[in-house]
Structure formats: C-alpha cells, structure tokens
Amino acid sequence: MNKTDLNLIIENYLRNPFRSFGLSLLIALLASVLLVGGLLSFSLSKGLNRLSSRLGADVIVIPQGSEINDQTVLLQGDSKYAYLPQGSLEFIRGLEGVEIATPQYFLTTLNSSCCEQKVMIIGFEPASDFVIQPWIHEVLTDKLPKGAIVVGSEISVGEKRTVRFFDHEYPVAASLEPVGNKLDQAVFVDVATLADIREAAKAKGVIFLHQDVKSEGSDSPIYSSVLIKLRAGADIERLSREIHTRFDGVQIRTRKDLFSGLEKSANFLQIVVWSIVALFLVIAVAAIVISFSLSTRERRREYALLRIVGYARKRLRTLVLGESLLVSAVGTYIGLLLSSVAFFTFKIWIGEHVNVPFIVPGNAEIAAVYAVVVLLLHSVGPVAVFGVANKVSEIDAYAALREVEH
C-alpha cells in the first residue's frame, strides 16, 4: 500500500465521521468485553488452580451458626465465628480412616482503632498442620521463628517488615503468594504467637467475639475448624455419620463440596462473559457489513472514476479493506485503553465480588491476551467486508457512471 492509498483511506474514514466513529466505538465495546473476558477467565482459572493445589484437606469440619458457606472456610474467611464442641478434635483423630486432623483458630477481624490495619488472624498447630505450613515453605525454607508471623500477599508490612497488634510489634517472616481471595488479607500465626496476641489484646482491654481458645472451666481447647486428611479408601459418609452422631451443631464439607460450588460459579461467570462477547461480535460484524454495503452503493461513481484513472481491481479492493481495517484498529485501541484502565483499577474490587478465587495472570499471560484481542479485532473489519470489497473491485466503471448520470 503506497502513501496515496493510505491518505485516501484516512480521508474516506474522516469523510463520514459519524458512521466511522460509530463503527469504531462498536468495535471498542467488543474489544473491551473481549479483553475483560479473557483476563477474567485467566484470573478465575489461575485462582482455582492455585487454591486446589494448596487446599490439602479432604474434609473440613466447621461449627453450625458460624455464618460461613461452602467456600469461606479456608477459602475466604469470615469475621463471625462459632467454635466446635469440646473434644471434637480428639474424637476425630480416633476415627477410622483419618490420617491427620489439624485444628485452626480464627480470631474476629480486628478493628482499625487497635491495630495498624484491619486483618483476620488464623492460628494453626505446627505439630499437626498440613495445610498452612506447606504454603509457608514455598516462600520460607527455614522454620518459622518464634513470635514471627506470615502474612497474605495484600498485607502491607513496610520497610520494617513488622505488623503492630495492640502496641506489640510482630516480625513478618514471609509474605505468601496470592491465593485470589480474602486469605490474601490474612495473618497466619502458630498457637504460641496467637496466645501472645490475645494476651496483648487483653492488656489493652480488647475482648474478642470468642476471647479464649479454651472454654471456661475446662483445659480442653476449642477450635474454629478441623481439617482432615484421609487415608486411601476411607469412607467419608461413614466418618460424617460418626461425627454427627457424637456431636450436635457441626457441619462437614468435603473437598468435592468446596470445589464443585466454586467451579460452578466460575463456569457460570465465564459463560455469561463469553455469551456477551459473542453477542457483541455478531452485532459488530452485522453493522460493519451493512454500513459498508450502503457506503459502496453511495460511492459507486467514486469507485468508477478511480477505475478510469488507472486503479486496478486489486488496488480498489485494498482501499475498501484498508478502510475497514482502520475502523477496526481505531476501535480496538480505544477499547483496550478504556478496558485496561477499568480492569486494573478495579481488579481488587472485582476479586472481592466474584466470590471465586481470583488471581490476575502474569505478564506473559496478559501479553498473550492482548495479542489475541488485537489480532482478532484487527481482522473483524476486513473479514466482514471482504465480500463487499470484491463487489467493489468488480464494478464496471462505464456502466456505473451511466447509472449515476441517468
């Protein structure tokens, strides 16, 4: 394509700005939906894969009335907790088919008036834990130092790498890789450090929703949840019946329960997004075809004159395809700019409201999504008007001029 043809394409685009910009804006909407859909799909898939690899529990036992649904235990967290009945951990550990059972303790989300930041604290038992410590070992090869804490990826630790709770500084041993949910805003501590935080809170006159990890008048600790790893061939239904028979007020969730709900939510979101993409694609292609078909009829004399002054059929086809490419390109870059600003500005808000693990993909994956969107949408215009361009190239110049004169 020479400079003359390029100038003519730009001139034709600007000659009817309402039509040209209207089509470009339609492509911009398609680009926005396509980009957000691609990034959202990658983010949901990455979040689910990361969470699946980290959740090593086959069964989770939680208390009734804890206001937590199938996804929130160890997946998103909740600030309103109940505790499991006395002796539940010891009973579960003695059941047939249980390989490991480990407790966790949840403290009510702290108020910003008493702490540097609003967080959720999850306590674990180092001797039996098989869920949190593998996460920690991904970023901390040494043993967790006494009194140190581990924080989620969204907890800001500053240059001192400490977090203050109740006027006490706690050194941060490591920051975890993102999981894609509210665990990224949590603090993980062993039971000894958890007890120290509770004592510091008492000294400041702060009372948690459940302030003690031991019930009054008993030396037996109480827990927020118990995570179970089963032996091969264990009967989950039998285990569930035995726990329900012994204890009232407990809920039992299997790994399948947890992830089936998450996968259904993720799949539904993706179906909605890609259905919208398909709808916009159909509308955009139809609008471009109709618009260029009408434009071609109006400009038959112009095309005829170009043929008379020496434009080859192939060159005439190039002009039409070039104009459609310009329409697509302008719309694509407008759409990518606007949707990029929106997505990356509100990615935290999106992650908090989709109720599914959500991790924004890495730079290479993001670049791949952008490349696919650019290549696809640059071709939408030319592909849509290819038939129209062929008809233009086949115009009989003298016949077209006579039609206009008459």
Residue whose structure tokens are 């809920």:
251
Scanning 55-108, the segments in alpha helix (DSSP H) are: 88-93
Q: Which residues contact residue 245 at a Cβ distance below 8 angstroms, ignoring those fewer than 6 apart?
A: none
Strands 120-124 and 186-190: parallel
d(CA 110, CA 118): 6
- pLDDT by residue, tens only, the chain of 406 residues: 566 778 878 887 888 888 888 888 988 988 898 898 888 888 888 777 777 666 678 888 888 755 444 444 444 444 445 678 888 999 999 999 999 999 988 876 565 455 655 678 888 999 999 888 888 888 888 888 888 999 888 888 878 888 888 888 899 998 888 777 777 888 899 988 988 888 887 787 766 544 444 544 444 456 888 999 999 889 989 999 999 999 988 888 887 777 777 777 778 888 888 888 888 888 888 888 887 777 776 666 666 666 666 667 777 777 878 888 898 899 999 999 999 998 888 877 777 677 676 778 888 889 999 999 999 888 888 888 777 777 766 665 555 455 544 4
d(CA 44, CA 42): 6
Burial class (CB in 10 A: 0-12, 13-18, 19+), 320: buried
Burial class (CB in 10 A: 0-12, 13-18, 19+), 3: exposed
Total-model pTM: 0.62
